Amino acid sequence: MAPKEEKKRVRLQKFMADAGICSRRRAEDYIRKGLVQVNGQTVTQMGTTVDPDTDRVEVSGKPVVPARQEVYIMLNKPAGYICSCSQPGRKIVLDLVDVDQRVFPVGRLDRDSTGLVLLTSDGRIHHRLAHPSFDHEKQYEVAVDRPVSDAKLDELRCGVKLSDGMTRPAEVLRHGEKSFDITLQEGRNRQIRRMAEAVGCKVVRLHRIRMGPVWLKDLPPGQWRHLTEAEQRKLLNSCGL
């Protein structure tokens, strides 16, 4: 389990901009003019940093309310855990993370599958990554119980008929006679397992390695970490936020 991260201090002008008071450039003007106070003391230095949780910032005597800090986490889900916020008597992915904020998993990954799960406090991300209308890609490593022909992989690429309709075209890359990567832009219930059955195979391993622009990479099974600032920016940009 990853340790809790200490809250980072941020530059005063960034704190003001994030709170929606003004742009960073305008915040710098306010600081130079002596209009900004931190814990009752007027601040005029550009390098000043503040702790958003404990420091009191005012502009011309009016308090600045800190922006809500959303949480974005990646987890390498082991088999046996359910992507749910509550499932009495069963192991859920929230059992594996330890953060103060309330977070929830984005999208489905069934109990027997492993790999990347995103958890967030940001409801906008949850809606846009989980809803099929936004066309976010999800990439999986798949192993099946018998050799799969090139023709069968082509069927997966073009779409196969399931009980709830035809699947959309998918990207498929062979790794071995019984293994391949598949990239989807939809997320029906147990979709890849049902697609494999439609071409005469049974999935024996299903591991998600990417959601949109976020890659699992080398995070060990059962471990989690906060997304980096660069990953957060890519994720938010991909969702039009």
Between CA 77 and CA 236 the distance in angstroms is: 22
**153-172: pLDDT as tens digits:** 999 999 999 999 999 999 99
Query: Residue 105: beta bridge partners?
Result: 119
Helices assigned H by DSSP within 63-133 = 123-130
pTM confidence score: 0.74
Q: Tell me, what's the pLDDT at 132?
A: 59
Report the CATH architecture of 10-63: Roll (3.10)
Lowest mean pLDDT segment, chosen from 52-56, 94-98, 111-115, 158-162 = 52-56
Mean pLDDT of the chain: 89
Instruction: Write the pLDDT tens digit of every residue in 224-236.
Output: 999 998 999 999 8
Taking only the tens place, the pLDDT of each residue in 33-56 is 999 999 999 999 888 999 887 889
Q: How confident is the model at residue 134 (pLDDT cuts 50, 70, 90)?
A: low
* pLDDT tens figures, 80-91: 999 988 778 889
- Is 170 within 8 Å of 108 (Cβ atoms)? no
Stretch(es) of the chain classified as CATH 3.30.2350.10: 72-238
Per-residue pLDDT, 125: 81
Helix (H) or strand (E) holding 150: helix 150-158
Pick the CATH number of 72-238 from 3.20.20.60, 3.30.2350.10, 3.30.465.10, 3.40.50.720: 3.30.2350.10
Contact between 116 and 76 under an 8 Å Cβ cutoff? The reply is yes
Query: Residue 79 and residue 163: Cα distance in Å, rounded?
Result: 26
Is 150 a catalytic site residue? no
Residue 114 contacts by C-beta under 8 Å, 6 or more apart in sequence? 76, 77, 78, 79, 205, 206, 207, 208, 221
Sequence-separated (6 or more) residues with CB below 8 Å from residue 195: 156, 160, 162, 167, 182
Predicted local distance difference test score (pLDDT) of residue 7: 52
Percent with pLDDT over 90 in the chain: 65
Q: What is the pLDDT of residue 66?
A: 77
Pick from 95-99, 119-123, 128-132: least confident = 128-132
Distance CA 137, CA 215 (A): 11
pLDDT confidence of 101, banded at 50, 70, 90? confident
104-106 and 171-176 strand pairing = unpaired
Residue 131's pLDDT is what?
62
Question: Can you tell me the distance from the alpha carbon of 207 to that of 186, in angstroms, rounded to the nearest whole number?
Answer: 16
Of 110, 122, 154, 218, catalytic: 110
CA–CA separation, 36 and 199 (whole Å): 66
**If residue 226 lies in a helix (H) or strand (E), which one and from where to where?**
strand 224-226
Element (H, E) at 180: strand 179-184
Is residue 37 within a helix (H) or strand (E), and if so which, with residue range? strand 36-38
Place of tokens 């990207």: 171
Q: Where in the chain is the domain with CATH 3.10.290.10?
A: 10-63
pLDDT in tens, 178-197: 999 999 988 888 999 999 99
* Buried b or exposed e, range 91-108, using 16+ CB within 10 angstroms: ebbbebbebeeebbbbbb
